[in-house]
């Protein structure tokens, strides 16, 4: 059994349905609940210590009042869920009780230490502006107390009270900053995950889950404008561009001795970089007569066909290939380390493979246009040549591969 359960602390924390974890006030609520738990526990302990150990009834009364106020705020907060009012109430309660204690002891017995708790409380709960304001007032009072002492200097004594004050404040500070660090870490983590989600959404085609056209354009531009890309396409380069955290499961359709399966290591590629150019090819894939599928079976079935075809194509890709939906019923695949001849062979296999599949009860065919990167090419001109090749494939009767 965990300590939290043992002390029944978990019952202290209420899950407000109106403040889910992604609500801006979520962590403020956690802090209010933590703070009230800490103040309540502190006031219970201090009341008992002052009553039975120091027999300081005046301080025990002060701590007892703090305990009642703390529980009152907690009860009200649980029943109303008012964050702003509670945050102010907690801050004012903590600040005024600390200052009452510091003033009543005239700063003796290291009671001034307690004032150091005011900035963390007030800044976390009521924000920078009001936190600064309240901290300044409290510290001004502390400075004034010290000034008064300088008018009539007394020798400083270290009592047991000093020891308790120092220890209690240190423990409270550590707890507060642990909490602060936890919220900060959680907020950054959430932000990083959100950014990843947004980035993924921005580069993914909603329907098929493949990369979208923006991502393809960016990846191709990066490949072709990276100096190394003109001479060497390494596995690392393409993987960095893909930036994919969940690498697709690759089904290797080629024979073991096929040149495309013999991936060279990065080291091999780099060592050859100076003397060899590593080719890049692209292929545009277009479904034949897709309009008829929509017309005969409806757009929803058409969508399902697109999704299944996308999955089948993705399963046929090699690690370094980058498949994207270009728009409508067209897909583009970027083939690093692939000559035009290899790209033709590869896409021909792909065409035959798709022609053999049963997709939503239909037999589909695809036409493909292939082009290899030339030094004078831009991403646009490369795709344009592949598109022209696709046009030839279409006008050549469809269900075939044409190269530019």
Ligand X SMILES: Nc1nc2c(ncn2[C@@H]2O[C@H](COP(=O)(O)OP(=O)(O)OP(=O)(O)O)[C@@H](O)[C@H]2O)c(=O)[nH]1
Using the rule CB under 6 A, is 392 a contact of ligand X? no
Compute the distance between CA of residue 69 and CA of residue 89 in angstroms, rounded to an integer: 9
Q: Which window, 69-77, 299-307, 345-353, 381-389, contacts ligand X (CB under 6 A)?
A: 299-307
Closer CB to ligand X, 64 or 302, in the complex: 302
Decide whether 30 or 360 has the Cβ nearer to ligand X: 360
Cβ burial 20-54 (10 Å sphere, 16+ → b, else e)? eeeeebbbbbbbbbbbbbbbbebbbebbebbbeee
User: Per CB under 6 A, which region of 125-133, 154-162, 244-252, 283-291 contacts ligand X?
Assistant: 283-291
Cα(225)–Cα(373) distance, rounded to whole angstroms? Answer: 12
- Considering the complex, what minimum distance in angstroms separates the CB of residue 121 from ligand X? 56
DSSP at 246: S
- Say whether residue 326 binds ligand X (CB under 6 A): no
Contact region with ligand X (CB under 6 A), list: 18-26, 46-54, 275-283, 297-305: 297-305
Binding characters for ligand X, 186-215, by CB under 6 A (x = yes):
---------------------x--------
370: number of Cβ within 10 Å: 30
Q: Residue 176 or 313: which CB sits closer to ligand X?
A: 313
- Position 290 contacts ligand X (CB under 6 A): yes
Q: How far apart are CA 102 and CA 165, in angstroms?
A: 11
Q: Nearest residue to ligand X, using CB?
A: 302
* 85 Rama class: left (phi>0) / alpha (psi -120 to 50) / beta: alpha
* 302 forms part of the interface with ligand X (CB under 6 A): yes
Rounded distance between C-alpha atoms, residue 102 and residue 161, angstroms: 13
Structure tokens that stand for 65 in this block: 């009042």
Compute the chain's Rg from CA coordinates.
35
Candidates 23, 182, 194, 299: give the one binding ligand X (CB under 6 A): 299
Q: Catalog residues that contact ligand X under the rule CB under 6 A.
A: 207, 286-291, 294, 299, 302-303, 306, 328-329, 394, 398
């Amino acid at each position: 059994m965990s300590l939290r359960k043992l002390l029944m602390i978990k019952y202290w924390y209420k899950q407000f349905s109106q403040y889910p974890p992604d609500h801006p006030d979520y962590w403020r609520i956690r802090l209010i609940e933590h703070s009230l738990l800490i103040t309540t526990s502190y006031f219970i302990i201090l009341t008992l210590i002052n009553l039975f150990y120091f027999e300081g009834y005046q301080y025990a009364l002060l701590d007892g009042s703090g305990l009642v106020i703390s529980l009152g705020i907690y009860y009200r907060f649980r029943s109303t869920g008012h964050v702003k009012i509670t945050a102010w109430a907690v801050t004012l309660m903590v600040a005024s009780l600390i200052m009452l204690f510091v003033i009543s002891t005239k700063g003796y017995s290291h009671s001034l230490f307690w004032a150091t708790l005011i900035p963390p409380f007030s800044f976390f709960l009521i924000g920078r502006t009001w936190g600064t304001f309240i901290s300044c007032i409290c510290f001004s009072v502390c400075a004034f107390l010290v000034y008064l002492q300088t008018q009539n200097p007394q020798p400083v004594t270290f009592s047991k009270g000093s020891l308790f004050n120092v220890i209690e404040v240190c423990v409270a500070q550590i707890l507060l900053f642990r909490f602060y660090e936890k919220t900060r870490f959680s907020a950054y983590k959430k932000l990083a995950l959100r950014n990843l989600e947004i980035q993924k959404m921005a580069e993914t085609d909603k329907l098929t889950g493949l990369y979208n056209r923006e991502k393809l354009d960016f990846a191709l531009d990066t490949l072709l404008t990276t100096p190394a890309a003109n001479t060497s396409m390494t596995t690392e380069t393409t993987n960095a561009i893909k930036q994919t955290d969940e690498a697709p499961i690759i089904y290797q359709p080629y024979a073991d001795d096929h040149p495309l399966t013999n991936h060279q290591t990065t080291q091999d590629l780099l060592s050859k970089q100076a003397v060899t150019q590593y080719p890049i090819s692209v292929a545009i894939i277009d479904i034949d007569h897709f309009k008829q599928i929509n017309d005969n079976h409806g757009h929803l079935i058409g969508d399902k066909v697109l999704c299944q075809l996308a999955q089948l194509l993705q399963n046929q890709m090699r690690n370094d290939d980058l498949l994207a939906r270009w728009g409508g019923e067209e897909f583009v695949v970027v083939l690093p380390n692939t000559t035009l001849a290899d790209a033709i062979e590869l896409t021909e296999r792909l065409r035959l493979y798709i022609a053999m599949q049963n997709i939503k009860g239909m037999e589909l065919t695809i036409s493909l246009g292939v082009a290899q990167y030339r030094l004078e090419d831009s991403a646009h001109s490369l795709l344009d040549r592949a598109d022209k090749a696709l046009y030839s494939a279409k006008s050549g009767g469809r269900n075939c591969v044409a190269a530019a």
